[in-house]
Structures are given as C-alpha cells and as structure tokens.
Amino acid sequence: MATQYKFIYLNLFIISLLIGCGSVPEKTTMYSQSEFSVSAIDENSVLSSDRVKDKLYLQYAKWKGVRYKFGGSSRNGIDCSAFVQITFKKKLGIDLPRTTWLQSKLGTEISRAELEAGDLVFFRTGPTSRHVGIYLESNKFLHVSERKGVIISRLDNVYWNSNYWKSIRI
C-alpha cells in the first residue's frame, strides 16, 4: 500500500513539472473575452506605447531578480503568469486571469512584426507547459525565468526564438 502512494505522489510530481509555469489551478471565477479587451476599457485610459513601456521598466526595477516560484504570486517568489497578472493590474489597471493558458485566450493574436510595449508573448516550453512574458521594445521582453527570476530577455535568443508560440494584444 505504501508503494502505491509513493507511485501516486511521484506521478503527481512529474505531472506538475511537465505542466510548468502558470498552471496553478484556476479560481472559480470565469472570464469572458470582453472583460479584458481594449474595447472594454475607456478609450481615454488607453496608454501610449511609450507610457506603457515606461511603466513596464518601472515594474522591472521594482521586481528585478525576484526568484521564480511555481505557483508563487509575491516578492517572495513568483511565476510567469502571476507576474503578468500583477503587472497588468498594478501598472496598466487591467485585470487578467491567473494562468498562462487563460491569458493566452484573451485579446487579439498579432504577428511578431506588430509587437508593441505591453503585448503578451507566449512560448511552448514543453509538451504541456507554456510561458508568458510582456513585450517591451526592440525584441526585448519582461518575464520570470526559472533560473534568474524576473529579468529582461531577447526574443531572438536561440531558446526563446525556437520556443515562440504566439503574441497577443490585450
């Protein structure tokens, strides 16, 4: 019987590793597309790309180096989707769902050539795992690295370029 429990715990551990960033179970709140689209926001509150970029760099200065923690959502440790959710709420006044998967269902898909500050960039980092970051400028994006914590990386980096999935404008 103890062996059976060890097997179950081992499988749960392996599954949690495979799922990766942003896979914390969702709260019961359901989100609709219109709750997060720019059209649902007062047009006067939509920020210019430069203003968004400034706010994102301020967020980076505050969070730089905060370590990655699966399921984390504080300065004691944070994962990619929580960082995106907190950044959008605190800096842009936009509520986003908690997981990478739900965040990837929002907004309008755009090409890499159309990226502007504040757009979300998504990556497939494993068979079932996804990663999200926030585009800044000049091929740079803000995100939470599992090894380096909150950092700025480049989309044209070999790893990120080969794992790029899609971009979304909220």
Closest CA to 96 of 80, 109, 112: 80
Which among 55, 99, 98, 92 is positioned nearest to 169, based on CA atoms?
92
Q: Is 143 a catalytic site residue?
A: yes
Instruction: Please confirm, yes or no, whether 74 is among the known catalytic residues.
Output: no
Smallest CA-to-CA distance from 142 within 165, 167, 120 is with 120
42 is catalytic: no
Report the alpha-carbon distance of residue 125 to residue 143 in Å, rounded.
14
Name the active-site residue from 56, 66, 78, 80.
Answer: 80
Burial group, residue 27, by CB count within 10 angstroms (0-12, 13-18, 19+): exposed
Choosing from 78, 142, 143, 153, the catalytic residue is: 143
Tokens at residue 53, please? 């970029």
Q: Active-site residue among 131, 136, 144, 150? A: 131
Beta carbons of 88 and 29 less than 8 angstroms apart: no
Known catalytic residues are: 80, 131, 143
